Amino acid sequence: MTLICSTIIFLCLFACFGYLPNILSLGMQILPQSLSKLIPYSTLVTVLLMGSGELKAQNIIQKLSKKFLSSERDSTRSGSFMVLPAIGYAQETGVEYGLASTYNFYLDKSDPKIRTSTVMAMGTFTSNSQSNFKLQTDFWTKNNDYHLISEIRYRNWPFNYYGLGMDTWKIDEERIDQKLFRVKLEAEKKISNNLYSGINIQYDNFTIRSDSADRIFNHSDLIGKDGGQQLLIGVSQLFDNRNNVSYTTKGYYAKLRLAYAPKLWTSADFTGANLDVDLRGFIPLHNQVTLALQGIFRSTFGKTVPFYNYRELGGDMMMRGYYLGRYRDKNYLASQAELRYRFHPRFGIVGFSGLGSTFSKENSSRYVASYGGGLRYFFSLEHNSSIRFDYSFGEQRPGEKRQSGFYLSLSEAF
């Protein structure tokens, strides 16, 4: 439920203050004329001053309404900035509080075809002394010749572990403490029309601890149960002819990334390779309706594959409705479809469904479904930047409650 309380309060206050000047103005208009003879001069001055303040308030409200509700695009091609308070509660973390923000802009305003660049930052704390910090950048240079991506993250946050494969149960849920430090850099260069080649490097350092000696995590024969580190060096190939990167209504996206992790440290560190394939298609059904499709395949293989490198099903991007890591294994295959209806320049609704599974030589696949819907608010028409409200349902295993989740995020799922 992160962010939902503060967001509702903000919208309510905005609505109330938006109507308050009109209500006061109406009250002054219906005041009987005979009563004006009984009002002293000092009171009249006070009323005039109040009227002046009312006009200022109306001007502020009009500016805010134009900025956040107007259907007109900004002709100056300026950047857009959005900050959301993060407030939530979970049993494993206690009260969570902090901020999430995004800044969208053009690196070269004079280029009419340049894509939107983005800087996203988030920082949260909890009452149980946990913290989560992330800074992500996504830059497109002039003529879209270069695409540059970076991420810096520190995460001191617990997660729930259920076991490996698709045959895991809620009753085996176990809390695991984890600290993660990550640095990631990626650069892609356009080599022909809509085709990019790239290189990437990523360093991860994990610290993992379980205090439950009698539960399944410590009883398993997993490698890297105490954590470890990995250095990934890779190459990528990208085809991308989307008409807009933040809210696509037409085009295709296909990316293949292969990253190799050499043996540099201990025997528990990852030695092998990661393969990631991401395919997306966006089909316009109407000038306001888009069918968005995505399929992903993620695989980890090699001589030493530690626990922290296993692929996780769930989260707010793919297979919404499942807790991230509810199912995990060395391979992950999933797809989703989303029907998007943008009935107003500022607002839209979506319906979506997904199908996915994890698997390996040791654990067979079992595909599970997800489905749900959501609302969209576009706080920047120039960059088509949105706030996403989604609710999704997953499967209901025998003897368990149906899995589900609410998601409040900046930007689209894909």
46-83 confidence digits (pLDDT tens): 544 566 667 776 777 766 666 667 777 767 889 999 99
Q: What is the pLDDT of residues 248-299, one digit of tens each?
A: 999 999 999 999 999 888 877 899 999 999 999 999 999 999 999 999 999 9
First to last CA, the chain: 21
The better pLDDT of the pair 21, 246 is held by 246
pLDDT, residue 65, reads: 67
pLDDT, residue 51, reads: 64
Q: What is the mean pLDDT of residues 123-148?
A: 95
Q: Structural domain boundaries of the chain?
A: 4-69, 80-410
Res 130 pLDDT > 90:
yes
Q: What residue type is assigned to position 393 of the chain?
A: F
Of 4-18, 84-98, 214-228, 237-251, the least confident: 4-18
The better pLDDT of the pair 46, 321 is held by 321
Q: What is the mean pLDDT of residues 116-138?
A: 95
Res 329 pLDDT > 80:
yes
pTM for the model stands at: 0.82
pLDDT, residue 76, reads: 82
pLDDT, residue 66, reads: 66
User: In which band, very low, low, confident or very high, does the pLDDT at 15 lie, cut at 50, 70 and 90?
Assistant: very low
pLDDT, residue 374, reads: 97
The burial of 8, by beta-carbon neighbours within 10 Å (0-12 exposed, 13-18 middle, 19 or more buried), is given as exposed
Q: What residue type is assigned to position 321 of the chain?
A: G
Q: What is the CA radius of gyration of the chain?
A: 26
pLDDT, residue 63, reads: 67
Of 54-58, 97-101, 104-108, 263-267, the least confident: 54-58
pLDDT, residue 39, reads: 41
User: In which band, very low, low, confident or very high, does the pLDDT at 336 lie, cut at 50, 70 and 90?
Assistant: very high
Res 43 pLDDT > 60:
no
pLDDT, residue 86, reads: 81
Res 186 pLDDT > 90:
yes
Q: What is the pLDDT of residues 298-307, one digit of tens each?
A: 999 998 899 9
Q: What is the pLDDT of residues 246-260, one digit of tens each?
A: 999 999 999 999 999
Measured between alpha carbons, how far is 324 from 315 in angstroms, rounded to an integer? 4
Q: What is the mean pLDDT of residues 224-245?
A: 95
pLDDT, residue 64, reads: 64
pLDDT, residue 30, reads: 37
pLDDT, residue 315, reads: 94
Q: DSSP string of 306-321?
A: -GGGSEEE-SSSSSTT
pLDDT cut 90: percent of the chain above it: 72
Q: Give the distance, in angstroms, between the CA of residue 125 and the centroid of all CA atoms in the same chain.
A: 18
Q: Which residue has the tokens 């539960």?
A: 215
CATH topology for the 80-410 domain: Porin (2.40.160)
pLDDT, residue 84, reads: 86
Residues of 174-188 as b/e, b for ≥16 C-beta within 10 angstroms?
bebebbbeeebebbb
pLDDT, residue 6, reads: 44
Measured between alpha carbons, how far is 37 from 39 in angstroms, rounded to an integer? 6
The better pLDDT of the pair 52, 343 is held by 343
User: In which band, very low, low, confident or very high, does the pLDDT at 13 lie, cut at 50, 70 and 90?
Assistant: very low
Res 166 pLDDT > 50:
yes
Q: What is the largest CA-CA distance in the chain?
A: 93
Task: Report the mean per-residue pLDDT for the chain.
Answer: 87
Res 386 pLDDT > 70:
yes
pLDDT, residue 91, reads: 67
